[in-house]
Amino acid sequence: MKIGVLVKNVPDTETKIKLTSDGTGIETQGVKFVMNPFDEYAVEAALQFKEKIKDDATVTVVSLGPDRVVETLRTALAMGADDAVHVWDDAFEGGDMLTNARILAKVIEKIGFDLILGGKQGIDYDAMQTCAAVAEHLGIPQVQIVIALELSEDKTALVARRRIEGGDEVVDIKLPAVVTCEKGLNEPRYASLPGIMKAKKKEIKKIGLADLDGLTADDVGSMGSTTKIVGYESLAQRPSCRMLEGEPAQQAADLVRALREESKVI
Amino acid sequence: MTNDILVFAEIRDGSFKKINAELISAGLNLAEKSGGAVNVAALGGDIDAAIEDARKYPIQKVYAVKNAVLANYSTQGFADALEAVVKQAEPAIVLFGATAMGKDLSARVAARLGAALLTDCTEVDLEDGSLKVKRPVFSGKVYANVVSTNDGIKMASVRPNIYPASDQGGDPAELVDVACDLSADNIGAMVTAIESTAAGRKDVTEAEIIVAGGRSLKSEENFKILEELADVLGASVGASRAAVDAGYAPHSQQVGQTGKVVNPKLYIACGISGAIQHLVGMRTSKVIVAINKDANAPIFQHADYGIEGDLFDVVPLLTEEFKKIVEG
Ligand SMILES: Cc1cc2nc3c(=O)[nH]c(=O)nc-3n(C[C@H](O)[C@H](O)[C@H](O)COP(=O)(O)OP(=O)(O)OC[C@H]3O[C@@H](n4cnc5c(N)ncnc54)[C@H](O)[C@@H]3O)c2cc1C
Ligand SMILES: Nc1ncnc2c1ncn2[C@@H]1O[C@H](COP(=O)(O)O)[C@@H](O)[C@H]1O
């Protein structure tokens, strides 16, 4: 069984996002990039399947992005992935999610997988678009926001539990399929020291535009995109907090009055 | 292509969800600029009641695909049905709710139709024929202004609780049954069961009021005091990750970066410190109240009202005070 995992390299959750002085971009200087947290669940899920299936399973991690994504691929290798594929070409610069998905789908088609795992969403642009679009281009089913996943005995199907508003859906999935992972699915392992050493020496395969049949420079990057970010805005500052004074009973009564009479939310 | 706006209606358990009325009002704003009409796509199995509901809004047409294959949500089934509606209605713009269903379906259909797609918008506008939206990015740390750059169809998903729900009124909208061949055999991922988690309460993403608790609640049992307050207010209960990881509350209630992004009119944070990963999930709430015994807790920098105090004293007192109002 060949399992592919889509991993994205994103700014660390603690990062303070600073806008460039003209407000049209994000300052990337000094920003620490890490594996998208939701993709850690995907890598872990793939490794658990591999351990369960034993010898006839491989886990390949795929990331599209500039050179810094290699570090995220190495992290996944250190966790235990078998192979890594770095997808990049200068022509890919500035592509939106649906455009990147077109590229990733071509890469996946070229390698051939039985199961493709990804994260629920990238915590950079919070798009939740890439995996669904990949599944569409491949013409295979997708199930997103998954918190439990089981492989059938014959390895041709999965049962997933998917988180929706106010409940869970239980879904039967025929492979090949794309599944995206949500917190709660598992506890991602840390890379072991020997794993890290081994990962350093692993060769990472590179794939560029010329390797992908049927795609031209017009289909990818900013040229192929149908959306464009024109600027950023900081969140509006809230007026400073009004602290309620007095004994707890007084505070409670004053708060309720303020919510009713000033902000009129009650 | 027409100048019309198509609203994908989310129907769960046969009922027309509130987000749909919000999308209709967002759509009416857009339609005024585009010079088109707002229409609704209603897809599902047994959805006659939802269709009748949809027809009461100030829209022109309800395009319906009724088919037993659509009784439960499946990306493939719904994508085929929505594609059939789009082919017939030829909208300029399609709006979805930024919900589990709306986000899943919109990305699939946008990829199929080569549409521009903007997810999770808090503002949608039309400018020189382009869709122009505002959407929170980097887990809500900043907003991005994004435009569509294509000539063809454009799509956006809109966050719940941003646009006011449209009023009903006017003549009933015309009902158009759309033909669409669907077979369960072609659907590789099928829902076999739906298990409800938030017994009797709205999901936090849909709630107008949220009472949330953190690690300081110290046990699942103690979350009851938040539930009592929530009951009085008709609110939902939220939790910090620390509380969820400690097992005091289920993950379905977690607010924040690895939980849910919520957008209520009132968020009451009880014993939550205000870590950045929590803030990004609730920062757009209209009014934020913080109760914390540490006057220096970061949450106070993001709250409108603060009570420095012990939540175990304050919360039951608040419950009593709110009761007085509710009971008049
Ligand atoms: C990748 C990543 C993702 C994350 N995602 C999320 C997420 O989605 N959601 C989230 O919430 N966190 C998330 N976190 C965790 C976040 O960083 C914080 O650790 C967490 O929010 C803290 O929860 P807390 O406020 O309940 O606990 P604490 O930070 O421990 O704060 C407890 C607060 O309660 C106050 N307190 C204690 N006792 C009382 C009392 N009796 N009365 C009143 N006040 C009292 C204290 O003064 C303190 O301010 C994430 C972290 C990482 C690294
Ligand atoms: N550039 C990329 N390279 C590899 N995988 C990606 C990339 N972008 C998105 N993904 C995958 O798609 C998921 C959703 O991302 P997004 O659509 O950006 O929210 C991520 O969690 C990854 O699994």
A2-224 placed in CATH 3.40.50.620: yes
Average pLDDT over residues A217-221: 96
Average pLDDT over residues B80-94: 98
Q: Is A37 on the interface with B (CB under 8 A)?
A: yes
pLDDT at A106 over 70: yes
SS3 of residue A35 by DSSP: strand
Express each pLDDT in B34-84 by its tens digit.
999 999 999 999 999 999 999 999 999 999 999 999 999 999 999 999 999
* CB nearest B197 (choices: A166, A238, A243): A166
Ligand (nearest to CA of B307): 1
Residues of chain A with CATH 3.40.50.620: 2-224
Express each pLDDT in A169-218 by its tens digit.
999 999 999 999 999 999 999 999 999 999 999 999 999 999 999 999 99
Question: Looking at residue A226, what is its pLDDT?
Answer: 98
Ligand (nearest to CA of B106): 2
pLDDT at B199 over 80: no
Question: Looking at residue B123, what is its pLDDT?
Answer: 97
Q: pTM for the whole thing?
A: 0.93
Nearest to B85, CA basis, from B39, B45, B34, B26: B39
How far away is chain A from the Cα of B152, in angstroms, using its nearest Cα? 9
Helix A130-138 vs helix B100-113: angle between axes, to the nearest 10 degrees?
A: 50
Does residue B213's CB lie within 6 angstroms of at least one atom of ligand 1? no
Domains of chain B and CATH, by start: 5-177 (3.40.50.620), 209-326 (3.40.50.1220)
Q: Which residues pair with B43 in a beta bridge?
A: B65
Task: Give the whole-number percent of chain B exceeding pLDDT 90.
Answer: 94
Residues of A in contact with B153 (CB under 8 A): none
Q: What is the ipTM of this complex?
A: 0.93
Average pLDDT, chain A: 96
Question: Looking at residue B250, what is its pLDDT?
Answer: 93
Question: Looking at residue A238, what is its pLDDT?
Answer: 87
CB-based contact A184 B251, cutoff 8 Å: yes
CB-based contact B305 A16, cutoff 8 Å: no
Question: Looking at residue B198, what is its pLDDT?
Answer: 61
pLDDT band at B181 (very low <50, low <70, confident <90, very high): very high
CB-based contact B304 A123, cutoff 8 Å: no
- Ramachandran region of residue B239, left (φ > 0), alpha (ψ -120 to 50) or beta? beta
Q: Answer whether B263's CB lies under 8 Å from B285's CB.
A: yes
Question: Looking at residue A55, what is its pLDDT?
Answer: 78
User: Residue B4 contacts by C-beta under 8 Å, 6 or more apart in sequence?
Assistant: B31, B34, B36, B37, B38, B39, B60, B89, B90, B91, B92, B93
Average pLDDT over residues B292-315: 97
Residue nearest to atom 51 of ligand 1 (CA): B277
Q: Considering only residues 125 to 184 of chain A, which have any Cβ-Cβ distance to chain B shorter than 8 Å?
A: 125-133, 135-137, 140-145, 147, 160, 162-174, 177, 183-184
CA distance A147 to B174: 41
Q: Answer whether A186's CB lies under 8 Å from A45's CB.
A: yes
- Distance from Cα B212 to the centre of ligand 1, integer Å: 11
State residue A264 phi and psi, 5-degree precision: 55, 40
Q: Considering only residues 226 to 265 of chain A, which have any Cβ-Cβ distance to chain B shorter than 8 Å?
A: 226-235, 238-239, 241-244, 248-249, 251-253, 255-256, 258-260, 263, 265
DSSP characters for B131-195? Answer: EEEEEEETTTTEEEEEEE--SS-EEEEE-TTSSPPPPP-SSPPEEEEPP----GGG-SEEEEEEE
